[in-house]
Structure 1
Amino acid sequence: MRNAWILCKKELKSYFASPIAYGLMAFFAAIAGYFFYVAVAIFVTRSIESQMMGGGFPMNVNEWVVRPVLMNISVVGLFLIPMITMRLFAEEKRSGTMELLATSPIRDWEMILGKWLAAFLLYLAILGISALNMLLLFLYGQPDARPILVGYLGLILQAGGLLALGTFLSTMTKNQIVAGAATFGVCLLLWVFDWVSAYETATWAKVLSYLSVVTHFEPFSKGILDTKDVIFYISVIVLGLFLTARSIEALRWRA
């Protein structure tokens, strides 16, 4: 575990030693801030209209602001995650240091866990920017904290799974662009699988819908914590890291 943490810190330093981390943070801050502003503006406008029409019940800030923002953030993650994971192993293969890692005493799981954890912590740091927007709701309103906490748990679990798959795909090529494009393609597929069930009711469509990250994130965005959704994301994390281990093992044999 010590080696994994050392490698994790090394990867984090490399992220922040280049413009990558700062660029992603700036991009996310702008996009997340825009979505938050739009959601709040719509909420305020509808609230005023409701009061002018004599509406008897106050509008729910969680339903009108928190949930749309969380859903939009999960979409933004589809673009950020490939840019975070594309260099993890592809850069090592391009520079020729992958062979050194493959023949080093460090165990495969330590190498994989260290790199995945670095990507995961970077994403958490980026995600934390949007939490500042949510704090404003508590300063100027009375939102329910549970849906926000559960929603962020869903974002974290979803990111963990997609980052694990991206880590695996990064081992398949020495070209960072190819690795990033492949990861984005997989993320996009896992997102649009949910749309199939809207047009098809066959068993295969239900299977694809179950594999969609949207299907399992929607309950989180509503503040619903369901064990089956947690298990799904943990399974994706385990699958991604397992496939990465098999790929690294193959590299060791070739080395």
Structure 2
Amino acid sequence: MVKIKSEKQIEKMNEAGRLLASCHRSLSKLVKPGVTTLELDQFVENFLLEHGAKPAQKGYMGYPFAICASVNHEVCHGFPNKQALRNGDIATIDFVVDLNGWLADSAWSYGVGTISSSAERLLRTAKKSLYKGIEQAKVGNRLGDIGYAIQTYAEKKGYSIVREFIGHGIGRTIHEDPQVHHIGERNTGIKLKEGMVITIEPILNQGMPFVTMKPDGWTAVTFDGGLSAQYEHTVAITKEGPIILTEQA
């Protein structure tokens, strides 16, 4: 069942979103060659605790870290580790903030040092795909309109979209209804209503859309070894249009 949020509840989620965006801005200055994703994980956890919040995904379904850190061909849910990031890597950092019981969720892909032009193009297209989807998150539209906008833009640019991992409703828990697919047809799926809060989080691959799992049971990687990138925002559906609760600008 889709849970409709009041204006007051959305403002509480916006507070969590603003904190999350602030953390991402600080984190972006640390993502550089020689830093480990385990160090980034510790930074995020400390940052949130210092600001009266906590990392919502730590312990969720047994997940052991504050962030997901997915590097290069890792699609999502990567485990932070002690391996240093290298010049030319791309790293997607995804985490959920719990501030006073209300959640916000956002992922961002970062270039490490100087990245290749093809990696830069992937990141640019993945980010633009997210915003194409957000543009359709309006009262009266349907979920399929979001997926259609993302799919048509990404595929026109020559990228594939991972099907297995999708967006979702969010509020007091990480995953609520509805499921938000990043492919779709116009005017299909449930109608978007004022007060819905969802994540939109397309994952784009350079090659095929298929993924396989690492032995840890969490980390998904591209089937063909190609690069993967993801951007995600938490978005409120309002009568004034979509409001991004996790905007970094």
Larger strand share, 1 or 2: 2
Larger helix share, 1 or 2: 1
The structure having more radius of gyration, on CA atoms, is 1
TM range (shorter): 0.3 to 0.5
Provide the TM-score with structure 1 as the length reference: 0.32
Higher relative contact order (CA 8 A, sep 6+): 1
Provide the TM-score with structure 2 as the length reference: 0.32
